[in-house]
Chain A
């Protein structure tokens, strides 16, 4: 409900890495970023911070429709997205853009942390979530890690994802003999363990220490929890579409 300080727990913080050219991606080229926010003050500040840190800010947008149009044209690697947008809600922007360009990474940057929206955005493809009170360092680090494909979790988001898995498990799919993918996704015991530790505010490093696994393994577990949720969401959408299509013919 209140995850302002979440931001301090985004794992593998900037402090662990050297300063320098953080805007440089793993491939060596500059990371192309687009900033979407309806508050000019925020949009400019975020864009400036990112540009100063070496990112290539290829576009900005002030509303949802503009965001979709410009993102298609500018082809950014990372979309820094506010969810509360005029013209088209941020969740919808996320859905459309990730649907059109699966390689796009979305980092949700939200002020009020409306939980339902954040969860919906994450299910439809966003891989990171940060509240706006995050420091510049945290933001820059989050964008860099989002570009690298690492999920940016906060304890608040981990709690939401845990809750979502629990709801899916308690609400079995209507068709019991549907394919594997259609069945409600489950977390392995290890994934649940890792997610609970993230929700309790431990850093990836602390989690790795406690479970005696590598930092990379912790990251993989966290990534899997998101991946399964997003896959399930896509399968559900397709199934829904097929059902509707068959009904309609």
Chain B
């Protein structure tokens, strides 16, 4: 695994700058070719030659300027636009009057668009609107009178420049969003990696304190006991707890928009789960293990299959509540010193959860007697919960080996909605 995760910035803007560089060179050659092909028509070819000399030198010398946003400075843009405008305004001086009136090309012709595009790519649609307005004005001045063709061209440049400027802004925003999402993800992963290492270290120290403290006895033993409790708490947090959100951003302009979402409260959720029946509502299945983990502690051990045990939220909560009731029962009847084990089994056709304690157990006959008298209390409520889910709860007591409560929840029960998995599991097993 890599030690650090680097955030790679993928640029959606860079291709635009490359295209602009190519565009400027190609349009320069185009304008030059156009001039040479019509050389004979020019009134003052010297002016045109002088202008094109400047244009070629300027275009080639400033190629690095349009290679990226950092080099494309405001002064450069201003000079660039001036070159374009000068070319447009020089056209009537250099070219034949007839050609100018008929709507012939200006000296820089479509090279001008490159200048406007630079504004658009650099500063978005507002800058593009500003530059194309100036170009439009210069064009109108050059023609002398606004013909339909001229207006047509001017509006075209104007709309295209603004559209491109807008697209660039959108692309930049989505690039920022992506970069920010990647940063958050990388930060999360790094945090989790650090947390794993730190937790491992802290767990080691706590276990050590507990071990040594117990060996030393007396006050140290008490310290050891406390360290042991903290170790349990930390470990269930590490293995089960959801990771908290690291930082929140409410700034949509900065890209990612992160907000803590209030989970619907339990009652509402339960109602929703009951209505939709199969738990196919907005909430997917939950891992039963994560609901049982909070029950574990110094005296309660959880043994699970090492993989998620998915159950619809309502059913999972009911099972977890039944386990909680069983553990309460253990404390009530076997005392605080009794220890308990929870075993979760994900069978092909049912989920089996067993809660066993190491208490004295219930003598033979007492159980049936108590049940007959309806004095089973907590056990009765456990049974009720499971019956509602289509499952069963068995109470088993072996003298000297404590009491076991075995909860069985069939997967094809209407409330569990795990039928599809069930079929596959059976086929594989039998």
Contacts and interface: CB of A to CB of B under 8 A. Distances in A.
Contact of B303 (A132, A135, A156, A172): A156
B203 to A, nearest CB: 4
B428 A1 contact: no
A2 B293 contact: yes
Interface stretch (A22-30, A39-47, A94-102, A216-224): A39-47
A115 to B, nearest CB: 4
Interface residues of B, number: 57
Interface string A95-118: 000000000000000011111100
Contact of A1 (B207, B289, B400, B424): B289
B203 A111 contact: yes
Q: Which of A131, A199, A206 has the most CB of B within 10 A?
A: A199
A5 B301 contact: yes
Q: Which of A115, A169, A200 has the most CB of B within 10 A?
A: A200
A63 to B, nearest CB: 14
A134 B214 CA distance: 10
A221 B305 CA distance: 19
A29 B214 CA distance: 31
B302 A2 contact: yes
B231 A5 contact: no
A113 B235 contact: yes
B9 to A, nearest CB: 31
A122 to B, nearest CB: 11
Nearest to B1: A89
Q: Which of A45, A136, A156 has the most CB of B within 10 A?
A: A156
B305 A132 contact: no
B176 interface: no
A39 B207 CA distance: 12
Interface string A125-155: 0000001111110000000000000000001
A155 B203 contact: no
Interface stretch (B52-60, B132-140, B254-262, B340-348): B340-348
A48 B240 CA distance: 34
Interface string A207-244: 00110000000000000000000000000000000000
Contact of A172 (B199, B299, B300, B428): B428
B306 A112 contact: no
A95 B240 CA distance: 28
Interface in B214-239: 214-215, 228, 231-232, 235-236, 238-239
Contacts of B358: 201
Nearest to B209: A133
B31 to A, nearest CB: 60
A158 interface: yes
A166 interface: yes
A171 interface: yes
A155 B235 contact: no
B201 interface: yes
Nearest to B238: A112
Contacts of A112: 199-200, 203, 235, 238-239
B354 interface: yes
B235 A41 contact: no
B354 A200 contact: yes
B204 interface: yes
A69 interface: no
Given A45-B208, A133-B228, A163-B307, A155 B428 contact: no
Interface in B340-382: 340-341, 343-348, 354, 356, 358
B403 to A, nearest CB: 11
Given A1-B293, A206-B401, A133 B428 contact: no
A175 interface: no
B358 to A, nearest CB: 7
29 contacts: A1-B292, A2-B235, A2-B296, A2-B302, A4-B228, A4-B231, A5-B298, A5-B301, A112-B200, A112-B203, A112-B238, A132-B203, A132-B207, A132-B211, A133-B211, A155-B341, A159-B303, A159-B304, A159-B343, A159-B344, A162-B345, A170-B424, A170-B425, A171-B428, A200-B303, A200-B341, A201-B339, A209-B401, A210-B401
Across chains A and B, which 7 residue pairs bring their CB atoms closest together, nearest first? A163-B305, A159-B303, A201-B341, A2-B296, A132-B207, A133-B207, A111-B203
